[in-house]
A and B are shown apart, each in its own frame.
Chain A
Amino acid sequence: MTTTNSTHFVLSANINGERLEFLADERDSLLEALRERAGIRGPKEGCNNGNCGACSVLIEGVLVNSCLVMAAECQDANITTVEGLASPEGLSPLQQCFLEEAALQCGICTPGFLVASTALLEENPHPTEEEARFWLAGNLCRCTGYDKIIRAVLKAADQKDA
């Protein structure tokens, strides 16, 4: 076995409910494999070191930074990216609240915030403002000042009552 050259392998995973198989490199992060090999470009590369959350995805429903996961770790995994949040009928209630509350400006952080907030509301359907801010502390936004994002998340939580 040579260990100096990386090799390609077939990554087979359920991504947004669909079974996909594509070639990836053993040195790819999940973020790189999604964006550059599978053409799924919702997850963004902000920092590439775990600090910004722009690359947030769910693996088996658990929130992770896809820049800190190797693609090879994801054989047969269930992965959700921002592309998996809306349904054919339209945006998810959370996405709708982001629009209504103008919770985005440049939008680079938005896929990460949407995925991370979806995970929050799954785990804790009615978070306090403090709980929402603590949960989202790993997602950075240079534009909105966070208040609008938090408002959108809490609004989506409120609507769950109805």
Chain B
Amino acid sequence: MQALKYARASSVDEAVQMLRDGGPNAKVLAGGTDIIVLARERRRKVELFVDIKHIAEVMALEYDATKGLTVGSATPLYRVYNDANILKHFPALTQSAHVIGGTAIQGRASLGGNLANSGPAGDSITAMMALNGTALIAGPGGRREVKIDEFCTGPGQNVLQAGEFIVSLHFPHPAAHSGSAWERFIPRNEMDIAVANSGTYLVLDGDVVTEARIALGAVGPKVFMVPVDSLVGKPLTDETIAAAGQAAKATATPIDDMRGSIKQRLHLSDILTQRTIRAAAERARA
């Protein structure tokens, strides 16, 4: 490991101060499942780890039937997928949190770390985008909110400015007659990076879709939202679901790599979109 120092922040303000004083080589340490590997393999220069796990707000998990859900940015994934309210009202989040790495990774890894890492295949990110999440960011200039679907700007790139970090993630309470679902495709059953992933949230009025949010990952340089014109205001039928799958495929700009080809990823964009729509609709009707 490269020479580095460790500091424990006890408040949001102290973390901001440490990050600002530490400069560009001061890095937030949440679960460490990405950054410790990157630092050890010297793919990132790190001089200071700022541990944010001793700040109450950053480790929170609060559900309220009107206000919705707030998850601290460093709250470990096992707490997310073990939470009964999240399973009931935000199942897409449960599904994605449960497959990131294995059990020991989930003992540390966090939603904030997955988002800040901003990988095009970040599994929880598409679930959080579908659920219309917002990131609460603190920095030298105070606090601001950024919608999660606008957070990632490119592979490994995002809207965070120098000295800023994510405090928590907020999700509005889902509407009545709504449902959400998330799925990914990987060559093995667990412990691998997605070839494609998809998160969907939709609201039904009888058979008609009144709102839909569909996000795709690993099929472009960053995660993105799929246009939903073919679905919203229309009855949910095999035809409208197929049209949404086509819209997903038309928006995807995947690459060939060792995990999958362009052709396979385009196909998966279509198929996973259709599957998460169907699964979300089933939950909306339940």
Contacts and interface: CB of A to CB of B under 8 A. Distances in A.
Interface residues of A, number: 37
A72 B108 contact: no
Interface in B44-65: 47-49, 51, 53
B32 A69 contact: yes
B190 A27 contact: no
A3 B47 contact: yes
Interface in B96-127: 101-105, 107-108
A137 interface: yes
Given A26-B4, A68-B33, A50 B105 contact: yes
Contacts of A50: 33, 37, 101, 104-105
Contact of B29 (A27, A49, A53, A70): A70
B47 A4 contact: yes
Interface string A46-60: 001111010010010
Given A3-B5, A50-B33, A69 B108 contact: yes
A64 B104 contact: yes
A64 B108 contact: yes
Contacts of A65: 33, 104-105, 108
B244 to A, nearest CB: 30
Nearest to B32: A68
Contact of B104 (A6, A7, A26, A116): A116
B6 to A, nearest CB: 4
B191 interface: yes
Interface residues of B, number: 34
A135 interface: yes
A21 interface: no
A28 B1 contact: yes
B33 A73 contact: no
A142 to B, nearest CB: 15
Interface of B: 1-6, 8, 22, 25, 29, 31-33, 36-37, 40-41, 47-49, 51, 53, 76, 78, 101-105, 107-108, 189-191
Given A73-B53, A135-B103, A138-B101, 14 more contacts: A3-B22, A6-B3, A7-B5, A56-B104, A64-B107, A64-B108, A68-B31, A68-B37, A68-B108, A70-B29, A72-B49, A73-B6, A134-B190, A138-B103
Interface of A: 1, 3-7, 26-29, 48-51, 53, 56, 59, 62-65, 67-70, 72-73, 75, 116, 119-120, 134-139
11 contacts: A3-B5, A3-B48, A4-B3, A6-B4, A28-B1, A59-B107, A65-B33, A134-B189, A134-B190, A137-B102, A137-B103
10 shortest A-B CB distances, which residue pairs? Answer: A138-B102, A72-B6, A137-B190, A27-B1, A6-B3, A3-B47, A64-B107, A62-B107, A65-B104, A137-B102
